[in-house]
Amino acid sequence: MVRIKKKKNSGAEIPTGSMADIAFLLLLFFLVATVIDVDTGIGLTLPEYQETQTDVVPLSKDRLAAVLVNENGDVLINKEIIAIPQIKGYLTDRIRSKITLPSNKKLVVSVKVDRKTNYNLYIQTLDQVRGAFNEVREEYSATTYGTNKFEELNEEQLKDVREKIPIIISIAEPEQIK
Amino acid sequence: MKFEKKRASTKQEIPTSSMPDIVFMLLLFFMVTTTLREVDVMVQFKLPEAEAIEKIENKRLVSYIWVGNDERIQLNDNIIKLDDVQKLMYQKRVEMPNVIVSLRVDKNSNMGIVTDIQQELRKADARRINYSTMLKQ
């Protein structure tokens, strides 16, 4: 009788030698497909929508810096005509003078534009306003805590800087839509 | 007399058995961090440039509105009318209560359309916005 030999199953393992290659291929795909572009921009919070214009207490002249930009890019701050790059210098003085005042006396910057104003001009204006606030914050931080880099401040110091110089920008209600 | 060369007793190969594990770990990292571009932008626009800008920390909260140089508005995958902004943004806000609306507006557009969109956003109560800008070089 012929004995039928059982075949020995010797190679019952999955070959893992090429696994690294496959993984590298996948890795390459994700490396290429990844977009690590951070979204940058100027953040704002819009005011709540109100059906009817409610009566509001007008801010005192001293607290308010009304920035008006017309369609030609002329800027009117408190009845003075200046150019967009001058906004920063004008505002820093006023913000600086209010550092020690209580929080209900800080400067409010109101930005108002025409419907035909160019969007780019509007962004430049907002940039100038934010730049002014940031500059005063940096100055304050440098004189109080010895550094003008916010990353080096701890939580409490950062909170203090934010409290002393809050960024209050108000986008004025457009006149044509009500 | 025969001299035998002295050989280091230790193995001289870099162990490669753990390489797949390392690679898989890297792979996982990239898989998790990748956000594949979900939408095709159908409008043409050029972002304005500014200096005092900030990063959006949480990208998953961001919802985009594009406005092209021909004043067309795109939200998600569609070109929409101004009147639809409120309804669509309200739905988004219900899904994500603290949604940040990133406005990617062409720099040569008028403020009129931006104001209109802002007005619609206020009605939809999606009030956290961000004007997308590039860093001025």
For the entire predicted model, the pTM comes to 0.74
Contacts of residue A95 in chain B, CB cutoff 8 Å?
none
C-beta of residue A92 within 8 angstroms of C-beta of residue A129: no
DSSP-derived secondary structure letter, A55: -
**Contact yes or no for A65/A89 (Cβ under 8 A):** no
User: What's the pLDDT at A177?
Assistant: 39
- Per-residue pLDDT tens digits for B36-92: 666 777 888 888 888 888 888 777 788 888 888 888 888 888 888 888 888 888 888
C-alpha angle with apex A65: A92 to B124, nearest 5 degrees?
A: 110
Substitution target in A39, A114, A138 with the highest count of B β-carbons within 10 Å is A39
Q: For residue B111, give how far its alpha carbon lies from the nearest alpha carbon of chain A (Å).
A: 5
pLDDT of residue B120 exceeding 60, the answer is yes
Q: Domains in chain A, start-ordered, CATH in brackets?
A: 64-134+167-171 (3.30.420.270)
The mean pLDDT of chain B is 83
> In this predicted complex, what is the ipTM?
0.72
The distance of Cα B89 from the centroid of its chain, to the nearest Å, equals 18
Q: Which of A48, A115, A130 sits opposite B111 (nearest CB)?
A: A115
Amino acid at A87: I
Return phi, psi of residue B56, to 5°. -85, 120
Per-residue pLDDT at B33 exceeds 80: no
A119 inside 8 A of chain B by CB: yes
Q: Per the CB < 8 Å rule, is A39 touching B37?
A: no
Coil, helix or strand for A50?
coil
Domain edges within chain B = 49-135
Query: Which residue stretches of chain A have pLDDT < 70?
Result: 1-3, 5-11, 35-38, 52-57, 173-178
- A50 contacts B125 by C-beta, under 8 angstroms: no
Domain B49-135 is in which class? alpha beta
DSSP structure string for A96-158: HTTTTS-GGGS-EEEEEE-TTSBHHHHHHHHHHHHHHHHHHHHHHHHHHHS-S-GGGS-HHHH
Chain length of chain A: 178
Tell me which residue of B24, B92, B67 sits closest to A24, measured CA to CA: B24
pLDDT at residue B114, as a whole number: 87
Residues of B in contact with A118 (CB under 8 A): 107-111
Q: Say yes or no for a CB contact (<8 Å) between A23 and B119.
A: no
Strand partners, B104: B66
